[in-house]
Structure 1
């Protein structure tokens, strides 16, 4: 059953949780006690209240903790304990951010936060500064340390390592709200991967649909890890960003089913966005000289992989034509850029089935 945004419960970003915890801890440090629930303002102006899971006050600072609720989104950080310690900073320092246990540090250029800084993105930083600023509009001198229990292990299931964020999670959020199944965080990670590759001066990047195609593509071209972009189903998200932020060479790699969808004009390759059209695949086979019996069998095939197997056995392999079609779809998105583009098709074992390119993108 396909999920819809209207039937699913929204959640809160790690940035929103950290803002609430920071505001509560700062209020206590200023002698106002711990507000519980604590109300913060999201970037669009909405007010949201958060319950505190725990808090404490010591001679040198205060801390508060909020448990992240990601709503109905399958977010790896759902249920994470986001803790913020605050203490007074040196006069004139303003709000200074530190990475506590479970929060990563940026090590590569190209991200919105420079190397050496804690991986706390600009919008959460702005939200926290606003939450700590008093009615007089004066930003306080405060040190804000954000921690996430178990964050380093959670980060192993994210794209942080590839982006050069080490030691834990990123504190993310642009709206403060998690929209279930929006996949915005994944697409944002793809974009940040492009930014890192460009900042490192890499001439060749590759976006692949899964682990098998990624390993095979990386081995084929001996690419560094920073050149590999975990595109998944979001071919459009990658290609449209590369159109605005081009590199010299782009490789798109994937299994036969996903690449057939790309060849048929799909830029979102997820199954919920539709299946490959077997009739069109049969017509493609006819165009390369397949007899009627084979094209009929392809049209009735239960999967793209089965159709590829039928065509290969009959001596009319579909791979080259599908690779050419996928190249055309991707090339149309990249038209007008200085990119050279190639498309790779792999079977389930990672064996190269077909390749088209690299050729310059024109148009």
Structure 2
């Protein structure tokens, strides 16, 4: 489990901001022979920030700078990564050409904001780099004709800990960021990853996606339905973030997969299933259980949802799965999306499946 630091959490910088800073430093050195260290850049919302250089080198017609990414207090796998920019003079009139070097992935599937075959440098970082280099060139009265290679040594290994392989980004990391700032433990970053997963699934024409609360429920659902990796969405606790985006960008079928506790919260109307932001209402769970013949007071007195399930058994699992399905389906109503809910137990066994046309247990 990731330990959240005590006290105020420190913000950090995105890979896009680090790549821009490294590119700006290398460009300044290439044009003047002098290094700005630290190097200042302007973030998309107008903040001026300075980045120290970890490494710098220059030769005939080229310059290279390295900025070590500081993600602040966010548990980002790219914290400490060496974001590297190598600049060379380009052909007259070519403009700024961005290339991906070692550790930067290549897009191989449609649906992402970068075309297939391009390095996985997202639009805002591309814009940041282009603006920074154009400004430096204009200040010296020269055309902004540069070849820019962004690389992240060790990035291929780091990318295996991200969504990139599932999204069809091969060989390394993505250079990301819309504001330049990493906000610690940001829900927005996770939800954005869910959205990109949906975009890729839609672009691939997939008829069925699965949003899972964790790795075990994902594995069971994937095996049960026989789906490819890029049909699997790491929903985590953000059921609402996934379902609301699907309502705007529908696929024919979605399955929500998880354990009894989180699905109980969904059934009771919660769209954020994290324990810090929603709790099981045991009085409501007792009311549901009583319709199945259970002792209402015994269920209301339970400490955990799994304890309640152990007292009532499969009928309660199915009732909650159906209620969760109905809640999820309400979010996507009228969009032509069939909604299923698949429930597993702690051992990873499928205990209930409520589909769009009824319910069945396994």
Fold conserved (TM > 0.5)? Answer: yes
Gaps (5+ residues) in structure 1?
Answer: none
Output aligned runs, 1:176-325, within 5 Å.
Answer: 176-290=180-294, 294-312=295-313, 317-325=315-323
* SS class of match (1:232): coil
Q: Which residue does 1:159 correspond to in 2?
A: 163
Question: Do 1:5 and 1:180's aligned partners in 2 also have CA atoms closer than 8 Å?
Answer: no
* Secondary structure in 1 matching 2:235: coil
- Whether the 8 Å CA contact 1:121–1:171 is kept in 2: the answer is yes
Question: Which residue of the partner structure matches residue 332 of structure 1?
Answer: 330
Q: Measure how far apart 1:3 and its partner are.
A: 6.2
Residues 129 and 139, structure 1, Cα contact 8 Å, conserved in 2 = no
CA distance in 2, matches of 1:255, 1:321: 14
1:119 aligns with 2:112: no
Listed as ranges, the matches of 1:136-175 within 5 Å are 136=138, 140-175=144-179
Cα distance between partner residues in 2 of 1:2 and 1:53: 28
Task: Report the counterpart of residue 132 of structure 2 in structure 1.
Answer: 131
Per-residue deviation, 1:191: 0.6
- How many Å apart are 1:212 and its aligned residue? 1.0
Deviation of the 1:31 alpha carbon: 1.4
SS in 1 for 2:327: helix
TM-score (norm 2): 0.94
Runs of 4 or more consecutive aligned structure 1 residues displaced over 3 Å after TM superposition: 1-6, 135-139
Matched positions, count: 354
Are 2:250 and 2:336, in contact at CA under 8 Å, matched by a contact in 1? yes
CA drift at 1:4: 10
RMSD: 2.0
Return 104-113 or 301-310, whichever deviates more: 301-310
- 2:167 is paired with a residue whose SS is coil
Q: Which runs of no fewer than 5 residues in structure 2 stay unpaired?
A: none
Query: What is the deviation of 1:121?
Result: 0.3
The 3-state SS of whatever aligns with 1:253 is strand
Q: Calculate the TM-score normalised by the size of structure 1.
A: 0.93
Deviation at 1:335, TM superposition (A): 1.4
Write out aligned runs for 1:15-30 (5 A): 15-30=16-31
Q: Secondary structure at the match of 2:257?
A: strand
SS in 1 for 2:176: coil
Pick aligned residue for 1:347 from 338, 345, 348: 345
* Structure 2 Cα separation of the partners of residues 87 and 161 of structure 1: 30
Please give the alpha-carbon distance, in whole angstroms, between the structure 2 residues aligned to 1:189 and 1:124: 17
How far apart are the structure 2 equivalents of 1:93 and 1:6?
49
Whole-angstrom distance in 1 between the partners of 2:206 and 2:196: 14
Shift of 1:217: 0.7
